[in-house]
Amino acid sequence: MNCPNCENKIPDKAKVCGYCGYRLKAGAPVQGTISQPVSSQRGMPVWAWGLIGGLVVFLGIAIFTVANLRRENAQEPPPPTTLPPAIIPTQVPSLTPLSPTNTQETDTQTQYQSVFTLEDDDWINWSAGKIIEPYLLLMTSDGEMYIFDLESLDQGGHAIINTSQAVNELNFGDYQGMIATKGYLYLFGRHGLMTLDVGDPLRPRILNQEKTGWISNMTSAGNLLIGVGHGSIYFYSLNNPTSPKLIEVYSADDEKEYFWSVAVSQNVLYTGSWWEDNNPERDMLGIFDITDPNSPIEIGSQWIEETPYHLIVKNDLLIACGDLPITLWDISDPRHPEKLDKTYDYSGRLCFFDDNRILLGYGNALRLTGQSLDYFAIPDVDTGSGSPFFGDASENWAVLPGDGKAEIMRRLP
């Protein structure tokens, strides 16, 4: 029969509907009070109730799992707010000190590692170098210029190269030194000054020549180029840098005096000089007022040990380097330099100044700290490189030209 309440089919002798709970008596509805039905709608089949039960069990397991995960995470320590600094290995070799001073101090200045030694079958006196990356311009004392592509040479490790590897070879004749300023390259030597356009470093172009006497060394100061030589100081105006104009020649009182080096601090010019009689007692540091470069005035001189091949000004310090020794001068009052007591018995022509480091010949380097110098060796530099003349440094490279050999070095960060 069918249940009179939910109309589902039930056994004929059922007293209660298995679907809705309606009480029956002998197959007919019981009169009077009855139990309330579970639903006034059609009842669900048994399989539906089983599905609902399975969903309830699944939800219970899921809630239990999430609760356990939360408890485990709550027990883990929080991540650190700051991470410890990473230890980064470095490939930069430390410099080897040649003196016991400051051996425990870390050298944080620029370092160098030799990469190439330039030498040829013929003995060549390399007098000057200029780096215009990726090219290296090297001059000889005979006025020849060889241009090398540094990228083609950079094959790693220490190697020997020769002039046959130059990408260009020029001969300017009678020019041995070079200085770069105002975006141009100036060669100086036996017959004065030559201006080169090196916008294309492979093909330097001559812009101008100023024929004067022999210029052995040169410096720049503002709009001036100042060269020194045999008995004379030459002042060039750079108002037009493509064509420097000679505005003044200062001549020494003694025709045997030879100006060998030059440096400028403020409006004071310093010269290092020697005499043709090679009398060391006559080696002098000359002091000139060049407030008006058209009329330089000698305001004093001091005896100096050995002829300084190079003079370099750094802050309130004048560094003079010759064969022996290197001397330091306090020029806080530029017109009255005072020689410091300490001297440094190392030979080598000062070729250039890079930050607080000076590179010499024979693989030596000096670091300036305050008013003192510390010595270091440049790793792998060939000791046969000789005394360099006019070297150079760029962002990635440095060069030490010298007698018979030139050292090409990579700068290390």
Q: How far is CA 404 from CA 223, 341, 367, in A?
A: 35, 35, 26
Please give the pLDDT value at position 332: 93
Nearest to 390 by CA among 118, 128, 126: 128
Nearest to 381 by CA among 395, 400, 396: 400
Low pLDDT (below 50) residues in the chain: 26-42, 72-109, 383-385
- The residue extents of the domains of the chain are 1-54, 123-349
| Local structure of residue 62 (DSSP, 8 states) | H
Please give the pLDDT value at position 247: 96
Please give the pLDDT value at position 84: 33
How are strands ordered across the β-sheet holding 326-330? 310-314, 317-321, 326-330, 338-344
| Local structure of residue 230 (DSSP, 8 states) | S
Residue at token pair 């360099």: 388
Contact predicate 105/97, CB 8 Å: no
From the options 3.30.479.10, 3.40.1280.10, 3.30.470.20, 2.130.10.10, give the CATH code of 123-349.
Answer: 2.130.10.10
Please give the pLDDT value at position 46: 55
Distance, in Å, from the CA atom of 406 to the CA atom of 123, rounded to the nearest integer, reads 11
What count of other Cβ atoms lies within 10 Å of the Cβ of residue 409? 23
371: amino acid identity, one letter: Q
Please give the pLDDT value at position 232: 93
Please give the pLDDT value at position 399: 85
Does this model's pTM top 0.85? Answer: no
